[in-house]
Structure 1
Amino acid sequence: MTFDGLMTHAVVSELNTTLADGKITKIQQPYPNEVILTIRANRKTYPLLLSAHPSYARVQVTHVPYANPATPPNFAMSLRKYLDGAILEKIEQVESDRILKFTFKSRNELGDLQQLCLIVELMGRHSNVILVNQETNKILDLIRHVGVAQNRYRFLMPGADYVNPPAASGIDGFTSDLKTLDWLSYYSESAEMQVKWLQQQFQGMSRESAIELQTRLIDHDHYLTIVTHFFEQFDQVNPTLTISDKKSWFTAFVYQSLAGTLSHFDTLSELLDQYYLHKAQRDRVRQQGGALIHFIRNEIQKDEKKLKKLQKTLKAADSADDYRIRGEILTTYLREVERGMTEVTLPNFYADNQPLKITLSNQISPSKNAQKYFAKYQKLRNSIAYVNDQLAKTEAELTYFKTIMAQIEIAAPKDLEDIKAELQAEGYLKVKKNGAKKQKRYKVSEPEVFYATDGTRIFVGKNNYQNDQLTLKKAHKTDIWLHVKHIPGSHVIIDSADPSAETIQEAGNLAAYFSKARLSAAVPVDYIQVKKIKKPNGAKPGFVVYEGQQTLYTTPDEQLVQRLRKKPTLA
């Protein structure tokens, strides 16, 4: 489902309850289109995400970890200047449109009170976050600057007057008189046109919401009661995630028109965190790690081309004995070969004296032709050892880069720095020199912690550095180590010498989920005690060997993974 005007209404109601009279304690802009305001309210701290992302625009309290850039963007600095320490007075929605207004009370540089409005417009590629001085209606700054050439309707730049976007058509279903609509015309339409009719009549109603209301409007006699109840449910929410085989939807309550497995959440923000966890995270990783991904893809392509050439050379070396045989036959029948001949047919004493045609150079003597064949033979023989060595190195490097790419696929934005540092340490990426400053020793980020149903801690490394630290330094020798069989993935450690069968199965599910086999079924996962894990001398980060393992089979379950992220409350 899209973040439509009806969902916006429900979120505004939840945020007003949660953040009322809250104080801004921190302002960050971890991503180009997203701002996080940390608000202290009701003795709790809430990270409020304001997203103007073209595809994932939304407003919610989020608990998904994020990584801040080394230098704060200009918009973040503007927000800190005007809103640091500000008090949130109210959150309003413009009718049923996807526009939210956060009104703040703060003091200016002279200590005088001022009212500022942070306007969040959730409009696809036109989404924006705009800071406006409420007294003068002047734009102080905004996350996306939009000039006249891009938008003739309004000028969105610092110093300009704030102009509301074009008003949405239709009525506000939460406040308007529903009797004013021509419901007879609705029932006279076809099923497809009924959906469009509802979208035209009600502001901010997405197609999914219109289909849901249409599904309920079967009873002609009680249509007003049905519509009224439909809108009332956005004030009495039951946050629901519906997952089918190919798609998932988030809704403020159970939609009868959607089929699939239902999951319920305590708040709309928790629901949105779950829904956008991978969608938004993949996009953030692609944004922040674009250059890294491009480099690794190029290295993989280079190694694959090199591998083909080496295999071709090795295949050619298989014919080395043919050159030796020709040289020996020429040497044996040297008297029968005359200078100036371009070819000669001689009996092959290695094949029952069958005739063998041998190509010659007419520019050199018969003995030199024989020597030329021996030289080719020796060259190919000498190349075999070198080619085999290069084949082994190239295959190992290709496996390494494919492992790195698999780690990027499961990485959070904060994990990219570990991967970049590893590639620098391995000599694949150049380290930027900071003049005379001494390079600080890189500190590896911590692995993610999960909790089994019985409360046992399970650690998951997300990259090679984390994997090495976790397996070789942090884990106890009696802990249980898990990894998918013959597939790139995370090292998983059960913090127990004698875990239950259920805990091992749950840890196996984590190992399968955080691997390249995430979308597969019946994934084989090896598990063994840490003391039996060995790292060969000179092996690349993350590479280990082991013997005596046991293997379980599991199908990655995203809902189980999310449940294991929360520490269970044990009786």
Structure 2
Amino acid sequence: MFSTFDLKEISKELADLERMRVDKIYQLGNEIRIKFFGRGREDLVIKPPLAVFVTSYPKPAPKNPTWFAMLLRKHLKAMWLFKIEQYDFDRILILSFGFYEEDNPVVKFVLIVEMFRDGNILLANQENMIVGILSREYMKDRTLAPKSIYVFPEKKKGFDLSIDEIIELSKEYEIVKGLATQLNIGGLYAEETCLLAGVDKSKIGISNEEAVKIKEALLQLENLKKDPMIIKKNDQVVDIIPYDLTSYNGPEYEKVRYESLSKALDEVYGKAESEEILREELSTHQKKIQKFERMLKSQKDLHNSYIEERELYKILGDLTYEKYPIIEESIKVIEQAKKNFSLEEIKTKLAENKLISDVDFKTGIITFNFGTPLPMELKKDVNENANLFYEKSKKMKRKIDGAKIAMDNTEAKLLALKEEEEEFEVEKPKAIEKKAREWYERFRWFTSSEGHVILGGRDSSSNEVIVKKYM
């Protein structure tokens, strides 16, 4: 969870975004991404309560924007970011947006990011009335909902505590808990204060001498030199911090330093999450390939079964003509016997005939045994039975052709999917290379055939800026 110290340092780094303009805004879960333009392109990620940073690893925008993203776009599109600051050393970040009116910046809306509890993002107007909020909250002393006036949380004690106040603080709580909650610095920095002071963190009721040491440690903590890093333990990320803290000096910890806190955060929440998205995309793609492979196998099995049936019907048709006399005579005998004998008596007599394996008078089928079972319809003559087999063989030919077309289509889709699979690079998502831009690239422009740069504003406000500032 983001601490007050994290927010203190990141707000300074994000000041580079000031005087840039809002281009696009989209939401992924509780994460808001704001794309800025003006001095190149920058993507700001707001991920309460975990992190705020500039990313070099863009994520694909959702197909359907959320209502909150649409609300932010409606009110902030093309606005200037005038100021980004931490509120009163609290876990609250304020981004002020507006337009220039007669060369003077006029704030129209503020985006307030709360980095405590579950985190929240809300948009308020000039009168501090909430226009939109990510998650409504109703508390005893505060209501966070549209059309309510935004009220900042009750202010915590500052670092200017007197020695007596520090002693008094430790009478109610363990000193580490008192520092963490009453100074709003969180458990990590409260423990760091105790380590720097050499005071037992679990002590209740500290001495005057210990209170002096705590006071000195707080001053030391307030003036720590920025040294952003990722802390790892057994190759797993355990923390992202802006300072080199004594709490992580143990041999079990690995410290990976970065030139800025934003880049350290981007390494974990930008790059690592992009890798995870790519893995999920690859997994989905592989499942699609497996689906088409199963489909192709079924189509091949069906195609082969059609070939076998076609050959079988051809064999039965040929066999019918080959055994024409026997079949014709047998059918005639059976039809004649029906006049003098019951069906059961006929079946009994036919059971002794080795060339006839079965007679079913209900279906009208007699099955001959010529090494291959040969079913004949008693109501049809030999020619009709033979033609029936040949017709079925022709139908199988048409089914074989259809199955072959389906197989070819599936194989083509499968090949395309496998070629796409090679394009996935899960290991190292590529960061966007940011190129230096000329001052005029923030406007609409082109180069004439004579080599002159032709400028035009994106709106009436930027037209006015061009005239007053550059002409």
TM range (shorter): 0.5 to 0.7
The separation in 2 between residues aligned to 1:107 and 1:270, in whole angstroms, is 31
Q: 1:125 to 1:275 in 2, by over 3 A?
A: same
Structure 1: gaps (5+ residues): 188-193, 349-355, 405-487, 491-513, 519-555
Counterpart contact for 1:30–1:67, Cα < 8 Å: no
Q: 1:112 to 1:198 in 2, by over 3 A?
A: closer
Task: Give the match for residue 205 of structure 1.
Answer: 186
Counterpart contact for 1:23–1:87, Cα < 8 Å: yes
What aligned pairs does 1:401-416 form with structure 2 within 5 A after superposition?
A: 401=417
Counterpart contact for 2:194–2:200, Cα < 8 Å: no
The separation in 2 between residues aligned to 1:151 and 1:365, in whole angstroms, is 95
The equivalent position to 1:79 in structure 2, one of 57, 76, 80, is 76
Task: Give the match for residue 489 of structure 1.
Answer: 422
Counterpart contact for 1:104–1:115, Cα < 8 Å: yes
The equivalent position to 1:93 in structure 2, one of 87, 92, 98, is 87
The separation in 1 between residues aligned to 2:293 and 2:219, in whole angstroms, is 57
The separation in 1 between residues aligned to 2:385 and 2:98, in whole angstroms, is 96
Whether 1:313 aligns to 2:312 is no
Whether 1:239 aligns to 2:220 is no
Counterpart contact for 1:213–1:230, Cα < 8 Å: no
Further displaced range: 218-227 or 325-334: 218-227
The equivalent position to 1:119 in structure 2, one of 107, 112, 115, is 112
Q: 1:246 to 1:381 in 2, by over 3 A?
A: farther
Whether 1:270 aligns to 2:269 is no
The separation in 1 between residues aligned to 2:197 and 2:383, in whole angstroms, is 100
Q: Secondary structure at the match of 2:370?
A: strand
Q: What is the deviation of 1:232?
A: 2.0
Q: What is the deviation of 1:27?
A: 1.8
Q: What is the deviation of 1:268?
A: 0.8
The separation in 1 between residues aligned to 2:117 and 2:222, in whole angstroms, is 25
Q: What is the deviation of 1:394?
A: 0.9
Report the TM-score when normalising by structure 2. 0.58
Whether 1:344 aligns to 2:367 is yes
Structure 2: gaps (5+ residues): 203-209, 335-358, 360-364, 436-471
The separation in 2 between residues aligned to 1:280 and 1:312, in whole angstroms, is 42
Q: What is the deviation of 1:240?
A: 1.6
Task: Give the match for residue 24 of structure 1.
Answer: 19
Superposed CA RMSD in Å reads 5.4
What aligned pairs does 1:53-64 form with structure 2 within 5 A after superposition?
A: 53=47, 58-64=51-57
Counterpart contact for 2:132–2:146, Cα < 8 Å: yes
Q: What is the deviation of 1:127?
A: 1.6
The separation in 1 between residues aligned to 2:220 and 2:393, in whole angstroms, is 85
Query: Of the two, which has the highest radius of gyration?
Result: 2
Q: 1:185 to 1:120 in 2, by over 3 A?
A: closer
Matched residues, percent identical? 18
Q: 1:78 to 1:371 in 2, by over 3 A?
A: same
The separation in 2 between residues aligned to 1:366 and 1:230, in whole angstroms, is 110
After superposition, the C-alpha distances for 1:203-222 in whole angstroms (9 at most, x for unaligned) are: 3637xx48985996996569
Q: 1:335 to 1:217 in 2, by over 3 A?
A: farther
The separation in 2 between residues aligned to 1:28 and 1:34, in whole angstroms, is 11
The separation in 2 between residues aligned to 1:403 and 1:260, in whole angstroms, is 42
The separation in 2 between residues aligned to 1:57 and 1:11, in whole angstroms, is 12
The separation in 2 between residues aligned to 1:110 and 1:217, in whole angstroms, is 49
Task: Give the match for residue 505 of structure 1.
Answer: none
Q: What is the deviation of 1:256?
A: 4.6
Q: Secondary structure at the match of 1:182?
A: helix
The equivalent position to 1:376 in structure 2, one of 386, 389, 392, is 392
The equivalent position to 2:416 in structure 1, one of 382, 400, 408, is 400
Q: What is the deviation of 1:267?
A: 0.6
Equivalent residue letter for 1:397 = K
Task: Give the match for residue 34 of structure 1.
Answer: 33
Counterpart contact for 1:93–1:99, Cα < 8 Å: yes
Q: Secondary structure at the match of 1:26?
A: strand
Counterpart contact for 1:344–1:358, Cα < 8 Å: yes
Whether 1:49 aligns to 2:60 is no
Q: What is the deviation of 1:300?
A: 7.1
The separation in 2 between residues aligned to 1:390 and 1:175, in whole angstroms, is 78
Q: 1:60 to 1:103 in 2, by over 3 A?
A: same
Q: 1:258 to 1:151 in 2, by over 3 A?
A: farther
Q: 1:285 to 1:331 in 2, by over 3 A?
A: same
The separation in 1 between residues aligned to 2:313 and 2:98, in whole angstroms, is 90
Task: Give the match for residue 162 of structure 1.
Answer: 150
The separation in 2 between residues aligned to 1:95 and 1:25, in whole angstroms, is 25
After superposition, the C-alpha distances for 1:315-363 in whole angstroms (9 at most, x for unaligned) are: 3124233333333333222333344852434233xxxxxxx33334344
Counterpart contact for 1:9–1:93, Cα < 8 Å: no
Equivalent residue letter for 1:238 = D
Q: 1:274 to 1:110 in 2, by over 3 A?
A: closer
Counterpart contact for 2:113–2:119, Cα < 8 Å: no
The separation in 2 between residues aligned to 1:211 and 1:333, in whole angstroms, is 101
After superposition, the C-alpha distances for 1:92-150 in whole angstroms (9 at most, x for unaligned) are: 33444x212346797668979679754222357652142342xx4444x44648598x9
- Aligned pair count reads 374
Equivalent residue letter for 2:76 = L
Equivalent residue letter for 1:79 = L
What aligned pairs does 1:450-469 form with structure 2 within 5 A after superposition?
A: none
Equivalent residue letter for 2:120 = S
Q: 1:297 to 1:63 in 2, by over 3 A?
A: closer
Report the TM-score when normalising by structure 1. 0.50
Q: 1:48 to 1:179 in 2, by over 3 A?
A: farther
- Larger helix fraction of residues: 2
Task: Give the match for residue 473 of structure 1.
Answer: none
The separation in 1 between residues aligned to 2:286 and 2:146, in whole angstroms, is 39
Counterpart contact for 2:25–2:72, Cα < 8 Å: no
Q: 1:363 to 1:38 in 2, by over 3 A?
A: same
The separation in 1 between residues aligned to 2:53 and 2:269, in whole angstroms, is 11
